[in-house]
């Protein structure tokens, strides 16, 4: 009979533990809490941040590849578009992985807060030896062995746990928005570095053209000196300018190599092979055969492709071959379509850092609720069973109970905790207003800078055409002896500088456009 009763009590304990484990409240407070089920606190809220279920992998120390070489045959070079570089960076950037783990850690805090409604299990085994001796009583010795188990659960604490669950939920959403902002930084850093490579390639094309022009100019001047048509100083000046052009070419090659390294670094590129880039919508200077330029980046590029051109009088000119190497050939600009107000509205809607500040303000609101509700009592339920046996008797008590009570309350301390919570809530709300205002002016500043450069590009386009025409005229005048070498070289320098300025303006425009899109929160 005793064994049957003991088994029955154990079964009742298990049923109570299973039913108690499903009790709880919803993660977000409702204005009508009576309609909420007490069995829903472990269920996912529809507004809760949903994390991708990924298998946890062991993190090992990164293995870096061999230093990339630019000597890959042109036909074996991979081509990566701007979007492909961005996708690679998203997949390999460790800072983004760190932000993702912060989101997971914050999300775990929701379950930790909900666990306050989960049952608490206790179990205890004890052994006792009693020895009694005296002058008027018989000496006795008694041994007893006991076991006890119990289940207790907090049924309701008048919203304290609900507020803590809400805090964890809003903190998780804030971490998710921080992840999105980190993603913006990564994406736009790669995009700007991609444009930097395009600019370095365009500049290198200008430097190569300048070397070819100065080479022919030196050879022409030397030939005319041999005929007694030019002075020795013109030959020396032409040789000096040719050396300067070659130095610029070497600097351009170094700039291109550094730009590629910067791009690969922002991508956390771990492949051993070099890749090449492509023209973008608003940066279309690359020629179809520039793969050979990439192959020879570590070597001196031999200037070629120009030949002397003689007019009807047999005078040598350099105008042939300049036009089809012109940097503005085929360039087109696609203007930005949104107005300034539309850009600002989009930013206030999309910016993840602003959303994060708003979530942090909600965290502080829930924190203040939890502090104020420390004055509320706590309803708990308990179930316990024990078994104790000594040498002559045994007992097996079974207890079920519930209670309402206050914990250890310090009204003086809670008063100042409330003051502190109110101050932190005000700080969080001020941070929302600060972020909103900063975004408002940041977008406008970026928009104006972008529009200014957008208007400047067509003007620079016309200037490149004008300086090219001026150089051709100076070249013709020099070949017939109507101008000196200084005038010719000034025209060439002006033409080269105008092309470089045009490329730099296009680069600055693309950077300004990317900064505007980033400030708008566009992914």
> In the block, which residue shows the tokens 């809607």?
349
pTM of model > 0.75: yes
The pLDDT score that the predictor gives to residue 217 is 85
- Residue 326: pLDDT band with limits 50, 70, 90: low
Q: What percent of the chain has pLDDT over 90?
A: 46
Task: Give residue 459's pLDDT.
Answer: 93
Question: Residue 264 above 90 pLDDT?
Answer: yes
Token look-up 């972020």 returns 435
pLDDT at 138 over 70: no
Structure tokens belonging to residue 17: 């533990």
Whether 41 shows a pLDDT value over 50: the answer reads no
| Span 345-360, average pLDDT | 96
Q: Rounded to an integer, what distance in angstroms lies between the CA atom of residue 425 and that of residue 417?
A: 12
**Least confident residue range of 41-50, 65-74, 227-236, 493-502:** 41-50
Highest mean predicted confidence (pLDDT) among 32-46, 50-64, 281-295, 500-514? 500-514
Question: Which position has the higher pLDDT, 396 or 53?
Answer: 396
How many other C-beta atoms lie within 10 A of the C-beta of residue 489? Answer: 20
* DSSP code string of 367-435: HHHHHHGGGS-EEEEEEEEEEEEESS-EE--EEEEEEEE-----HHHHHHHHHHHHHHHHHHHHHHHHH
SS3 64: coil
Can you give the pLDDT at residue 162?
Answer: 93
Give kind and range of the element (H or E) at residue 79: strand 78-79
DSSP state string for 139-189: -EEEEEEEEEEEEEEEEE-TTHHHHHHHHHHHHHHHHHHHHHHHHHHHHHH
- How many Å is the Cα radius of gyration of the chain? 39
pLDDT score at 106: 94
- State yes or no: pLDDT of 230 exceeds 50: yes
**pLDDT above 90 for 365:** yes
Looking at residue 396, what is its pLDDT?
Answer: 77
pLDDT band for position 48 (50/70/90)? low
Euclidean distance between CA atoms 405 and 245, whole angstroms: 88
- pLDDT score recorded for residue 388: 80
CA dist., res. 69 & res. 52, Å (int) = 38
- 8-22, 92-106, 124-138 — which is least confidently predicted? 8-22
| CA dist., res. 227 & res. 373, Å (int) | 103
What per-residue confidence (pLDDT) applies to 439?
Answer: 97
* Residue whose entry in the numeric block shows the structure tokens 């001020």: 430
3-state DSSP helix/strand/coil percent for the chain, to nearest 5?
60, 10, 30
Q: What is the pLDDT of residue 292?
A: 58
Look at residue 200 and give its three-state secondary structure: helix
Residue 23 — pLDDT band, cuts 50, 70, 90?
Answer: very low
Give the CA distances from residue 202 to residues 205, 275, 286, 326, 473, in Å, rounded to whole numbers and listed in that order. 5, 17, 7, 11, 25
β-bridge partners, 490 = none
What tens digit of pLDDT does each residue of 159-209 get? 899 999 999 999 999 999 999 999 999 999 999 999 999 999 999 989 988
Round the average pLDDT of the chain to a whole number and report it: 81
Does the pLDDT value for residue 250 go beyond 60? yes
Contacts for 360 with CB less than 8 Å, ≥ 6 apart:
170, 171, 174, 428, 431
Lowest mean pLDDT: which of 96-105, 114-123, 473-482?
473-482
Residue 417: other Cβ atoms inside 10 A? 17
Lowest mean pLDDT among 28-32, 90-94, 336-340, 434-438: 28-32
> Pick the residue with more confidence: 345 or 333?
345
**What is the pLDDT at residue 139?**
61
- Report the DSSP beta bridge partners of residue 23: none
* Closest to 282 in 3D by CA, of 347, 221, 335: 335
Q: What is the CATH number of domain 2-50+77-129+143-520?
A: 1.20.1600.10
User: Can you tell me the mean pLDDT for 462-468?
Assistant: 91
SS3 category, 272? coil
- Res. 503: pLDDT tops 70: yes
Q: Please give the pLDDT value at position 274.
A: 80
Q: Lowest mean pLDDT of 11-25, 54-68, 313-327, 393-407, name the range.
A: 11-25
């Amino acid at each position: 009979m005793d064994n049957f009763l003991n088994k029955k009590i154990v079964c009742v304990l298990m049923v109570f533990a299973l039913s108690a484990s499903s009790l709880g409240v919803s993660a977000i407070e409702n204005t009508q809490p009576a309609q909420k089920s007490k069995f829903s606190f472990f269920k996912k809220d529809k507004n809760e941040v949903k994390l991708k279920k990924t298998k946890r992998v062991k993190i090992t120390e990164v293995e870096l590849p061999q230093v990339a070489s630019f000597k890959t045959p042109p036909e074996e070079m991979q081509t990566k578009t701007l979007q492909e570089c961005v996708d690679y960076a998203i997949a390999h950037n460790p800072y983004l992985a760190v932000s993702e783990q912060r989101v997971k850690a914050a999300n775990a805090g929701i379950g930790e807060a909900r666990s306050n409604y989960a049952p608490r299990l206790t179990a205890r085994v004890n052994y006792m030896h009693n020895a009694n001796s005296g002058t008027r009583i018989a000496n006795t010795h008694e041994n007893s062995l006991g076991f006890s188990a119990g289940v207790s659960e907090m049924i309701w604490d008048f919203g304290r746990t609900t507020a803590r669950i809400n805090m964890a939920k809003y903190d998780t959403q804030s971490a998710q928005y921080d992840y999105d902002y980190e993603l913006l930084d990564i994406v736009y850093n790669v995009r700007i570095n991609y444009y930097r490579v395009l600019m370095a390639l365009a500049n290198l094309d200008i430097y190569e053209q300048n070397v070819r022009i100065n080479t022919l100019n030196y050879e022409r001047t030397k030939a005319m000196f041999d005929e007694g048509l030019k002075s020795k100083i013109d030959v020396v000046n032409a040789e000096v300018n040719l050396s300067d052009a070659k130095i610029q070419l070497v600097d351009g090659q170094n700039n291109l190599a550094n730009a590629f390294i910067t791009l690969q670094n922002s991508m956390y590129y771990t492949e051993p092979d070099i890749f090449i880039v492509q023209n973008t919508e608003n940066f279309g200077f690359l020629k179809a055969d520039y793969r050979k330029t990439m192959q020879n980046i570590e070597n001196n590029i031999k200037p070629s492709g120009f030949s002397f051109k003689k007019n009807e009088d047999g005078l040598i000119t350099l105008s042939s071959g300049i036009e089809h190497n012109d940097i503005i050939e085929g360039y087109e600009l696609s203007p930005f379509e949104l107005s300034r107000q539309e850009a600002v509205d989009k930013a206030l809607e999309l910016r993840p850092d602003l959303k994060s500040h708003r979530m942090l303000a909600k965290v502080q609101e829930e924190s203040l609720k939890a502090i104020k509700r420390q004055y509320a009592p706590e309803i708990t339920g308990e179930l316990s069973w024990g078994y104790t046996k000594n040498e002559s008797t045994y007992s097996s008590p079974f207890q079920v109970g519930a209670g309402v009570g206050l914990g250890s309350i310090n009204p003086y301390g809670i008063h100042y905790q409330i003051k502190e919570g109110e101050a932190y809530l005000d700080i969080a709300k001020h941070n929302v207003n600060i972020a909103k205002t900063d975004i408002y002016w940041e977008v406008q500043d970026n928009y104006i800078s972008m529009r200014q450069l957008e208007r400047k590009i067509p003007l620079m386009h016309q200037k490149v055409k004008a300086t090219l025409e001026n150089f051709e005229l100076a070249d013709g005048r020099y070949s017939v002896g109507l101008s000196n070498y200084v005038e010719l070289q000034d025209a060439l320098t002006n033409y080269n500088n105008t092309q470089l300025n045009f490329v730099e303006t296009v680069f600055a425009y693309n950077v300004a456009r990317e900064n505007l899109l980033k400030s708008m929160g566009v992914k």
